Structure formats: C-alpha cells, structure tokens
Amino acid sequence: MNRSMVRFLLAKLLLIEAGLLSVPLAVTLIYHEGWPVFTSLLATMGILIVLGLAGSIIKPKNYRIYTKEGLLIVALCWILWSFFGALPFVFSGQIPSLIDAFFEVSSGFTTTGATILPDTAVLSHALLFWRSFTHLIGGMGVLVFALAIMENSKNAHLEVMRAEVPGPVFGKVVSKLKDTAQILYIIYLIMFAIFAVILWACGMPIFDSLITAMGGAGTGGFAVYNDSIAHYHSSLITIVVSIGTLLFGINFNLYYFLLIRKFKVFFGDEELRTYLGIVAVATLLIFLNIFHLYGSWSQSLQYSFFEVSNVITTTGFGITNLTKWPLFSQTILLMLMIIGGSAGSTAGGFKVMRSLIVTKITKNQILKTLYPNRIMSLHVNHTPLDKATQHNILKYLAVYTMIFLGLVMVISLDNNNLMVVVSAVASTFNNIGPMLGTADTFAIFSPWAKFLMSLAMIAGRLEIYPVLLLFIPKTWSKY
C-alpha cells in the first residue's frame, strides 16, 4: 500500500476543508456574531492548516495508487472531514458534546439531515450556515469536489472517484475524469443557484433561501427552523421544494446529455422512468390513504407529493407530523427510504437502478424455472448488462441487508420501539433524515448509538465497502 500517497492526499483534503470554513467565517462578520463563534471557526481552520501542511510538506516518491488506497482515502476523508467539521460546534459551546457534533456534521456531509438538535435556535447564523453548507459540498461528493479543483495525480482521480460516486456502474460524461468532475459540479451549482433564486422570489428571506436550497440540492434536508418548510405556510414554497428535491434525485449525467441536446438519452432513460413512476404511484396511494385526515384533495395531494419526493430523494424536509399518518402510508415511506434516488444523483438509499436490476434478475430467475432451456438476458436502456455487474449488485444487496439487520439488532438495545429503531437505521444508513414512530430528534439515543449511526451514515453514503475495509486488518498491510 502506498501510505505516503494516502497521507499526502488526506493532508491536501484537510487544507481544502480549512478553505471551506472561510465561508461561514465570513457569515460571522456579516451578522456580527462576536468572538466565540469567530474564534471557534478560526481555531478549527488553524488546526486543519497545521495538519494539512505537516502532511503535505513531504511529497511521495510514488504517486501511483490502486483500488485499496482509493477506498481508504475516501473513507478516511469523510470521517476526518466530519470530525474536524464538528469542532466549531464544540469550541463555540453550541453543541457541547463531541459525539453529538460529530453526528450532526456527519449527517450534513452525508446529506442525511438527521439531527440531535431539539431547537435550531441554539445555533448562530454562521454555524447554521456551515451545517447546511456541508450538504452542498457532500451532495455531489466531497472527493468529487476536491478532484474538480485539485491538480492531477496520475490515476489518483480515477480510483478515488470510482470509490465515492454512488451507483452500481461508474461512468464518465467526457473522456477526462477531472473534466467530468468539473462539469457535474458546475451543473450542480447552477441548479442550486436557480433553486435559491426561485425560493427567494417565492417570498423566502435570502438567508433562508440559501439554507433551504443547500438542503434541497444536497438532498439533505437541514432547515432554518424546527418545523422546516411548514414554517413558511406557503403552498407555493411547498410545491417548489417538492419539485426541486425531485430534480436533484435524478442522475446528473442525464442533465449533461440534456444540455448537449441528446433528448432521447434523457427521456428514454429506464431508471428515470422507473424513478418517476415510483413517485407517481406512491403519491397516489398515500393521497388516497390520507385524504380522510385533511378532507381537501389539494392539501392531501400537496402533502403526499411533498413527503414522497422528500423521502425517495432522501432529503427529509418536513411539513406535517408523519406519526399521525396511517400505518399504510408510513410503510410506503419506509420502502421509499430504502429504495432512494437515482444512481449518480445527490440522493442516498439503495438506488433505483439497483432496485430495477434486482427486479429484472428476479423476473429472469422465475422465468428460468418455467423455461429451463431458455437463454435469459438482462438489458438496461437497451444495453445488455454483463453477469459480473449483476453478481456485484446481488453481493451488494446481501452485504447491505446483513449490515442493515445487524444495525437494527444493535440499536434495538438502546430503544424498544420497533418502528423507531427500524426507521432510525433506515434513516441514517440510507441518508434520509426523519424517523417514523416518534416526533423526537435523534437526541433520544445514547452516545454510543449516535456514534454508530454516524458511521452508518458515512458507510451508507459511500455504499458500505470503503468504511467496511477500515475494519479489515489486511487492508492496512503493505502489500
């Protein structure tokens, strides 16, 4: 293993995080928030700069890295960024517990949106901004952002980006990987800016529109107020947020094809059609199931569409008390939590593409029992899917299921409400945010459970393997 290269790249990434902290630092000056917040951010930046310079001053002799190094860099970067990103909350005293702060920032970078805060009013404007800014950076990927601005390191880009980008199949929109990262981030940031402007035009204050747009773009769901989108009492804002989050749950590669006028590729994408179909069916079923609660078809449809779009994209903005919804509707939402958004989007979950492929594999296996001599092939977007990819998806499903059930068993030692435990695991492991079965925050769990769920959030965002490899001794061997 090329440890010097791992050390060198991690040091560079710490320097990038120090630079990102200058944004909330500027917010403290705009809102005149005093020395405690300013110094907490400045102290964290100082620590990151010292560690970053110390780790990068000696350049590696060999810049070559392989899959193992790429996986380690990704996993360690997300954990380190979450740890150091939590320090301003601890230093300022606004979240005194390091574990709570680590949970909150892990939730931010992984775009989960789960929180331990009973009231967001305890946070200053600067730390409220930093909390949501982590959504914006983590949405498209911490490392994708870094690779878009870092200098080339031979094949380092390929192995690192391959390890971080979600989905069963890794692809580039252009031949050069750095150009792909830049194109995707430019599309992402332009969409974020448009989203923020539209929210501001709908009546949101500028600060609120930026926070909400960062939460929607990153499909994270951190909001300015405890009652989230319900605070604004606006049907227009509710509809805009519903549509906005839904758009960020689409594979960003498709937006590139849309920009270069490959309309058939965009509208003919099988995952996109499945994604929109799931949203339509789930919205209709929940609408019919909750209509008696509200007595208004427009309000029932508005709430149904809002919650479906926010849950399937793993955003987690809130507008109503889901604990009062019928069990049937809550069960549908729980299923959407697991499915998640499209591969290559900012959304979390198992991914629509994987769910689609697993469904097709199951269908082929059933047909195989009826027609043993028939040769079965599997196509996605009219392209044959090779057996190796199919097997990898089934292996991922097996690992995903075992870890999910294991987390449920362990977290059940901390809480005896089955719906709360299952939804808490689904929420963190699939990077969703809200829990079902309770109106409380994640503060109800003990420190060890919150720490475990923090790791679950990172593992879920990185699709398990990079974090899992940290606990395997052979990963750390020299060869």
Tell me the pLDDT tens digit for each residue of 274-290.
Answer: 999 999 999 999 999 99
- pLDDT(249) > 80: yes
**380 forms bridges with which residues in the sheet?**
383
- Give me the DSSP letters along 333-368: HHHHHHH-S-TTSS--SS-HHHHHHHHHHHHHHHHH
What pLDDT score was predicted for residue 2?
73
DSSP annotation string for 265-327 = HHHT-HHHHHHHHHHHHHHHHHHHHHHHHH--HHHHHHHHHHHHHHHHTT-----S-GGGS-H
Task: Name the DSSP letter for residue 376.
Answer: P
**Beta carbons of 128 and 120 less than 8 angstroms apart:** yes
Q: Which has the minimum average pLDDT: 36-45, 126-135, 220-229?
A: 220-229
Write the DSSP string, 68-129. HHHHHHHHHHHHHHHHHHHHHHHHHTSS--HHHHHHHHHHHHTT------S-GGGS-HHHHH
Residue 336 confidence (pLDDT): 92
In the structure, what pLDDT confidence band is assigned to residue 175 with cuts at 50, 70 and 90? very low
Position 199 pLDDT exceeds 50: yes
Three-state DSSP class for residue 372: coil
Grouping H, G, I as helix, E, B as strand and the rest as coil, residue 404 is helix
Question: Nearest Cα to 464, choosing from 345, 386, 316, 351?
Answer: 351
Name 384's bridge partners.
379
Rounded to the nearest 10 degrees, the angle between the axes of helix 352-370 and helix 387-411 is 110
pLDDT band (50, 70, 90) for residue 221: confident
Tokens of 321: 């008390």
Confidence of residue 172 (pLDDT cuts 50, 70, 90): very low
Dist. CA 150–CA 11, nearest whole Å: 12
Query: Which of the pair, 34 or 305, is modelled with greater confidence?
Result: 305
Alpha-carbon gap, residue 74 to 387, rounded angstroms = 27
Token pair listed for 220: 């994270």
Does the pLDDT at position 454 exceed 60? Answer: yes
- In this prediction, residues 99-114 reach a mean pLDDT of 93
Residue 247, classed as helix, strand or coil, is helix
- Reply yes or no on whether the pLDDT at 475 is more than 80: no
Q: Which of 82, 192, 194 is nearest to 134 (CA)?
A: 82
Q: What is the pLDDT of residue 145?
A: 61
Q: Region 385-405: what's the mean pLDDT?
A: 87
> By C-alpha distance, which of 138, 129, 132 is closest to 348?
138
Structure token digits, residue 306: 């809002």
Q: Across the chain, what does the average pLDDT equal?
A: 86
More confident residue, 236 or 322: 236
Q: Name 363's Cβ contacts closer than 8 Å, sequence gap at least 6.
A: none
Mean pLDDT of 211-227: 91
**E strand or H helix at 380, and its extent?**
strand 379-380
The total number of residues written for the chain in this structure? 479
More confident residue, 397 or 164: 397
- Report the share of the chain in percent with pLDDT over 70: 91
∠124-311-302 over CA atoms, to 5°?
Answer: 95
Tell the burial category of 234 from Cβ atoms under 10 Å away from its Cβ (0-12, 13-18, 19+).
Answer: middle
For residue 224, which of 242, 205, 202, 240 has the smallest C-alpha distance? 205
If one compares 128 and 469, the residue with the highest pLDDT of the two is 128
Look-up: residue for tokens 């994604």?
A: 275
Is pLDDT of 63 > 90?
Answer: no
One-letter identity of residue 1: M
The Cα–Cα gap between 327 and 236 comes to: 28
pLDDT, residue 176, reads 57
176 and 161 Cβ atoms separated by less than 8 Å: no
Mean pLDDT of 398-402: 91
Predicted pLDDT at 449 = 95
Q: How confident is the model at residue 390 (pLDDT cuts 50, 70, 90)?
A: confident
Bigger pLDDT: 128 or 143?
128
